[in-house]
Amino acid sequence: MLTHFTPGGEAHMVDVGAKPETARRALAEGRIQMQLATLTLIEQGAHAKGDVLGVARLAGIMGAKRTADLIPLCHPLSLTRVEIELTPVADESSVWCRATVETQGRTGVEMEALCAVQISLLTIYDMCKAIDRGMRISDVQLVEKAGGRSGHWRRETQDAP
């Protein structure tokens, strides 16, 4: 049975009051595929004018802070660290995003890390859509989590380069 529902089938914000506050970490990733010309433009900007990745990184950090506002049953949490890595990969004509989020809390920060990835990638789409409307966001997934009752978890297969 899904924990986000009561026995009667009604959505609720799960009771985590009895859980201790422990150190939590989550790492999520995802990528946006685009035309090679678009990727080239992004890479040029990163070194000079028009820093698409800088804007996307900030949007992701701010997005992580808004997670509980956006995901209905997500517990509001303080965050002690948000780090976002954006890596252009010419081979795949993609930009990969990796977000690491940490806190001391009663619930994990997987949603915050995934939300950061989604908002970062969406922001790249926004900034490049005028020249490449067909970009696609893919492979958004949790890579690793640590802390809490369920302990350490790591995705077996690795997609990111």
Active site (annotated) includes residue 132: no
Burial class (CB in 10 A: 0-12, 13-18, 19+), 46: middle
Q: Return the HEC string of 33-54.
A: ECCHHHHHHHHHHHHCCCCHHH
Site for a second copy in 2-31 (CB under 8 A): 2-6, 8-17, 23, 30
Site for a second copy in 81-120 (CB under 8 A): 81-85, 102-106, 110-111, 114-115, 118-119
Strands 22-33, 81-89: parallel, antiparallel or unpaired by DSSP?
A: unpaired
**Smallest gap, in angstroms, from Cβ of residue 91 to a second copy?**
19
Beta pairing partners, 12? none
Interface mask (CB under 8 A) for a second copy, residues 120-139, using x and -? --xx-xxxxxxx-xxxxxxx
Site for a second copy in 29-68 (CB under 8 A): 30, 41, 45, 48-52, 54-55, 57-59, 61-66, 68
Q: Does the annotation list 75 as a binding residue?
A: yes
Find the catalytic residue in 15, 51, 91, 126. 126
Q: Which residues of 9-45 are buried (b: 16+ CB within 10 A; e: fewer)?
A: eeeeeeeeeeeeeeebbbbbbbbbbbeeebbebbeeb
Asked whether position 155 contacts a second copy by CB under 8 A, the answer is: yes
Asked whether position 149 contacts a second copy by CB under 8 A, the answer is: no
Annotated binding residues for substrate: 73-75, 111-112
Catalytic residues: 126
